[in-house]
Amino acid sequence: MLMLVNCSSCHTPLQLPPGAKSIRCVLCQAVTFIADPRYAPSPSAPSSHYYQQPPPQLQGPSPYNHAPSGPPPQAHGSKRAVICGVSYKNTGYELKGCINDANCMKYLLVNRFSFPESSIVTLTGCQPGDSLVFHYSGHGSQQRNYTGDEVDGYDETLCPTDFESQGMIIDDEINATIVRPLPHGVKLHAIIDACHSGTVLDLPFLCRMDRHGKYVWEDHRPRSGMWKGTSGGEVISFSGCDDNQTSADTSALSRIASTGAMTYSFIQTIERGHATTYGNMLNAMRSTIHNTDEHEGGFISSLLTMLSTGGSLGGGLRQEPQLTASEAFDVYKKPFSL
């Protein structure tokens, strides 16, 4: 059971893991010590199992417009990024390349797109004209969807380090937290290097592109009518593979160190000058992966396969990076820009 406790600084409701003695607020960074009776949860505070919580936007203020009390956070300018690299160290499903992915992505954002180093921490607010980036490199998985909102019948998930005890983060939660609240004039790019990640942001449109570069936009809006778009902003996501595919954690591309195949291809496409439009970007990423000799250090990492086989891996599907968006557009006319 998870308890709710109010942040000692900004009073945002926080989910307290079982047995935790303190918790850090992701909005204002204040640490609340649970031993202090002033910050104990009120008797009326609800408590429930992990996936029975109401949608994030109903639990507290939006992460995009919340202004915590007390001293304002350090100004970072108009470019901000969240980068997540999860290696699952000392477990049976450890990944070797995720920390390298995170370091390489930070280097790219700082040196090629002029993101201030101090801005690559967390989302603390945004305004029209801002450019946001969320990068995740780690395990991804799927679980059965029972609401009828998924075309394939499965929710896509991201796996935090403690997913075995606290559960996976499902696409509905990701969409409700970083997609739906995005205000007008703000752009968010997500770069998701994980298995089964094609529609992990639950965006309304998926660019279905063949190997000749021809494409159509598939409509993934739920039949229930639930809104999965933004509040006026723009979200574009590059993901490592289709929902039914796995993504590689491999040294075959760099030939120096393990990286996620998708993160490596994303960075290489930009460094080689192929990131002119979103269509050219997607084609170049796929070509980088297709042209790699999968027998030279290749390693397909599927969490579902690992958990079901006790750690042994068989052959996986060849991954195809995917492009999804909050609105359909001409991928060969829209310039790529972070």
Q: What DSSP string runs through 212-231?
A: TS-EEEEE---TT----S-B
* Six token digits for residue 36: 């202090």
Catalytic residue among 76, 135, 139, 196: 139
Chain centre to alpha carbon of residue 148: 23
* Six token digits for residue 292: 């790699």
At 100, which helix (H) or strand (E)? helix 98-112
For 78, the 3-state DSSP assignment is coil
Tell me how far apart the alpha carbons of residues 175 and 181 are, in angstroms, rounded to a whole number.
9
Q: Give yes or no: 139 in active site.
A: yes
Catalytic residue among 159, 195, 207, 241: 195
Tell me how far apart the alpha carbons of residues 171 and 142 are, in angstroms, rounded to a whole number.
9
- The CA-atom distances, in angstroms, between 338 and each of 39, 74, 108, 235, 328 are 40, 22, 11, 11, 18
Residue 316 backbone zone (phi > 0: left; psi -120 to 50: alpha; other: beta): beta
Which active-site residues does the annotation give?
139, 195
